[in-house]
Structure 1
Amino acid sequence: MISFDEALASVVAIGQPLGVETIPFPEASGRVLAKAVSARFAMPRTDVSAMDGYAVRDADLCALPFSLPIAGESVAGSPPGQVLPARAAMRIFTGAPLPEGADRVIVQESAQRDGNVVTFHRSYGPGRHIRKAGSDFRAGELLMPAGRLLDWKSLTTAAAGDRGEVSVFLRPRVAIIATGDELADPGVAGTRPGAIPESVSYGIAALTTQQGGIVVRCERLPDQPARLRIAAAQALADADLLIMIGGASVGDRDHSRSVFEQDLDYVFPKVAIKPGKPVWLARVGRRLVLGLPGNPTSALVTARLFLVPLLQGLSGRDPGEAVVFETMICSDPLPDCGDRETFLRARRIDGSLRLAVSQDSSGQLELATCDALIRLLPGTPALPAGTAVSFLPF
């Protein structure tokens, strides 16, 4: 059994990208860049208007009011190169190329048009309302570095590079097997005496997808070694990572470690934490197997601690960034944690942490409302309310 820090360091080390592929840009949402995106050309490509109004030459400005003939029009998407004649104005719209010779744009609120003549009757101020060519970025400039997740904001910036294809890391393929004779599908458990709804695999599948993985199969099986052995072999053939939920302890019906045809090459066999001591990680050939406890709270806590950084690393992100602890005051007194590192569920309320009423490893009621894991090091004594504690967003 190893410490939490040792286990996390092992996950960070083993969480390496699985490969690279090139995909059409419209399919890039949620992917991680394997190659930086640079700009094919400057933005704006030429000087453009920042407002709707009239392009004019400084040399033609007179005491208000004064009038100029309208020599033409420039709209967004017009080809650049129009020339503004001397002693004239040109109607121009936001984003439109500035005609050659123009020095400023006078906004339309300061002007009044009558046919092909515009009269400037209000003070137009010192602003020129021009976006200079390359003022956003230059041709060849880095827009998005490798390793960046293409979320809704970074995807917008990357699109400005005008790249039809992007190089991204492969998404890890994940199989999930939940074990337990007592488990039944939600909606069915109530019809079978002694059954309980199987809940953990749904949360783990959602977390996997959220963190960039692809769930290629998700099964619920009874504690039957023969069936589990077949399912595990099929899962390892299909997936880069197999997540076994339940059966991680040492009871007579705990089979999740013993159903593999090859011997497990443990990264770690268990971790000195509470909840979640039975969590384990191993290699089976070229594949990875993560064993999560069957109790819902233990499963979700260990998934946050180890599955999240593992998936981020496998999908091309920095796994170390997935587990960064912050500090906040806890408004409740804290119990002593004994000889195992302890993670307490809590909620962030009005700038402080409040403990979940129940810290039971099988609890589910408060999982949806808890958004923090308070970290207590081994041997930490009971602490009074108002203590600053280390916590991880949950």
Structure 2
Amino acid sequence: MTSTEPTPARAQSADAAGDDSIVKKLSTLDRYLAVWILLAMAVGLGLGRLVPGMDDALAKVEIGGISLPIALGLLVMMYPVLAKVRYDRLDRVTGDKKLMVSSLVINWAVGPAVMFALAWIFLPDLPEYRTGLIIVGLARCIAMVVIWNDLACGDREAAAVLVALNSVFQVVAFGLLGWFYLDLLPRWMNLGDGQGLDVSVWYIAMNVVVFLGIPLLAGFLTRRIGEQKLGRTGYEARFLPTVGPWALYGLLFTIVILFALQGQTITSRPLDVARIALPLLVYFAVMFFGTFLLGKAVGLAYDRTATLAFTAAGNNFELAIAVAIATFGVTSGQALSGVVGPLIEVPVLIGLVYVALAWRRRFTADAVTTAP
């Protein structure tokens, strides 16, 4: 029987209950999820490198600049997770001022500033790659973060709210922050001539609608109709286990397609990829661990702290790549930086899922220690 929860979640539950038999009952997909993700990346890179014209063929399957294969994978990936959200509990999240304010500040003030600083520190002599990294920092995550959050046993309702909040700010603030970090600030700091970022607000809005609006609406309607027909207990016990594994299938499919699209580019420029990867590694570490410590410091529970950390560390790679290609060209250094983003983000964040689950025990232990 296929497990309905990802490996880390089940493993953590088994640890908390002291029952290793649960781990032994996991499906092969669940137990070795990290391995399958790395294999999916390798398969994608291999296909892009070895199959002539595959990257070009996949790139042509798009509408309005949005890749249909990637969109399909992301929709399949996000729908099961958003169908699990209990939408009648969202008001409990929006009333958490610590969480909401922390998320806005970290995502839209701290995150872009950290990436801007790291890009200039590590790539002062490579302006194209530097610009590409800054664009990655501006594109806050609205899609794949729901998977990392679910794997780490984060708060699903909080993830839905914070992702929606990021979406609104992405439409409003992406172009403005692009002008600030790529044009105004470099000139003001005498770092050289700035670079403009020509991106339509409507394009960003369409990106948000496709990658968040569709699966969010589908998840909401599924939950509402499902509970009306089966009741909450029946819906969660009978329907969710059926659709749950498709989140991981969609994730693996997305990774294969994404890396097949860019396999030739990545494998043909390994030294450039390494230069771009270093500041990205530092960025993910700073954003995740810094945010996790902040959540603990302000008194958030583990589940919301994990959600806050993953929404801060993740980025909207699809938007970053699309904007870089549209503005600077498909063969530009800016586009390569966007491509390297998920190459580093995917394995790093799956690793951080396990780190978060290890810290979950510490949160529980601290709560027991401080309880009256």
- Bigger fraction of residues in helix: 2
When Rg is computed on C-alpha atoms for both structures, the one with the higher figure is 1
Of structures 1 and 2, the one with the larger relative CO (CA 8 A, separation 6+) is 2
If the length of structure 2 is used for normalisation, what is the TM-score? Answer: 0.26
If the length of structure 1 is used for normalisation, what is the TM-score? Answer: 0.25
